[in-house]
Structure 1
Amino acid sequence: MLLPEVHVDEPITISAAAELLGITVDTIRYYEKEGIAPAPERGQDGWRRYDTATLSWLAGTVMLRGTGMSVQEMREYAAAYRAGADDAARLALLEQHHATVLARQAEVQRHLAALERKIEAYRETIAATGAQAVARPPARSTIG
């Protein structure tokens, strides 16, 4: 994956990788277990060590998940990459997802516009009745 770009001078631990990427250690382990992210090399102590290439792949995975790509779609993309699928095949997967994201974005924009209209209607109502609302004291409880 080309973006987002991540660089480390020395391989880092899974905890440091999680912090750098803004995800949990469990999320990284899950992506590895599901075949979405490559298993990193291990240090002499047996602990996972994440280099720039592995971190870049994980960063791309985080980005794809952030755009709403399903785990199944991420598995398919990773499998295509590992199987040596050509750039055109991988591009097709990403373009299909891109179209889905744009459609979802348009839907969110429609909902946002409706929400903004509703907020404005409430503001206008409050402004028109504001003097009356301020003049009325709040209801008091009769329970002492």
Structure 2
Amino acid sequence: MLLPEVHVAEPVTISAAADLLGITVDTIRYYEKEGIAPAAERGPDGWRRYDTAALSWLAGTVMLRGTGMSMQEMREYAAAYRAGADDVARLALLEQHHEAVLARQAEVWRHLAALERKIAAYRETIAVSDTHSTM
């Protein structure tokens, strides 16, 4: 399993699902409206109920969004799944996104290194300035 498993003994409300996943109720509703997550089953009271399978799908959606996958890419992945795309096709979508994440990560590391050099330069300037002012 790629994500922490989310198991529930009984289906939970949308509020409980949001709490378990660390997202808002509005986010869940948005993912459902956009076709990224399947609409939840409804209980006898008419309220949405999220079982382990629904929570797992939502957890995957949260993970993909957390890696920077665009909403359009998430829609495409969900549509491929619903259309019955085989594992090879879905794997290709995820591998393409993986490459994009690695490229962004490399860029962030380059920027971080530049930031650290800048911080070091300021610290050195301040240390030299403090040394001259105490003389």
TM-score range, shorter chain: over 0.9
SS at match of 1:12: coil
Give, in angstroms, the shift of residue 81 of structure 1: 0.4
Give, in whole Å, the separation in 1 of the partners of 2:133 and 2:97. 50
> Aligned pair in 2 of structure 1 residues 69, 133: CA closer, same or farther (>3 Å)?
farther
Alpha-carbon spacing, 1:133–1:56, altered in 2? closer, same or farther (3 Å): farther
CA RMSD of aligned residues (A): 1.4
Q: Give the direction of change, closer, same or farther, for the CA distance of 1:55–1:128 in structure 2 (3 Å limit).
A: same
State how far apart, in whole Å, the 1-side matches of 2:124 and 2:106 are.
Answer: 27
Per-residue Cα deviation, 1:97-124 (whole angstroms, up to 9, x for no partner): 0000000000000000000000000111
CA contact (8 A) 1:3 1:56 kept: no
* Aligned counterparts of 2:2 and 2:115: Cα–Cα separation in 1: 33
User: Which residue in 1 is equivalent to 2:2?
Assistant: 3
Deviation, structure 1 residue 130: 1.6
| Alignment of structure 1 residues 121-132 onto 2, 5 Å | 121-131=121-131
Could you say which residue in structure 1 is the equivalent of 2:115? 115
Query: Mapping of 1:63-102 within 5 angstroms?
Result: 63-102=63-102
- Name the amino acid aligned to 1:71: M
Would the alpha carbon gap of residues 28 and 123 (structure 1) be closer, same or farther in structure 2, given more than 3 Å must change? Answer: same
- Off by >6 Å, runs of 4+ in structure 1: none
Deviation at 1:22, TM superposition (A): 0.7
Instruction: Give the match for residue 17 of structure 1.
Output: 17
Which structure 1 residue ranges, 5 or more long, are not aligned?
136-144
Could you tell me the TM-score, scaled by structure 2's length? 0.95
Query: How much identity, in percent, do the aligned residues show?
Result: 84
Separation in structure 1 between the aligned mates of residue 80 and residue 133 of structure 2, nearest angstrom? 63
Q: CA deviation at 1:83?
A: 0.6
Q: CA deviation at 1:132?
A: 5.0
Q: CA deviation at 1:3?
A: 2.6
The count of corresponding residues between Structure 1 and Structure 2 is: 134
Larger radius of gyration: 1
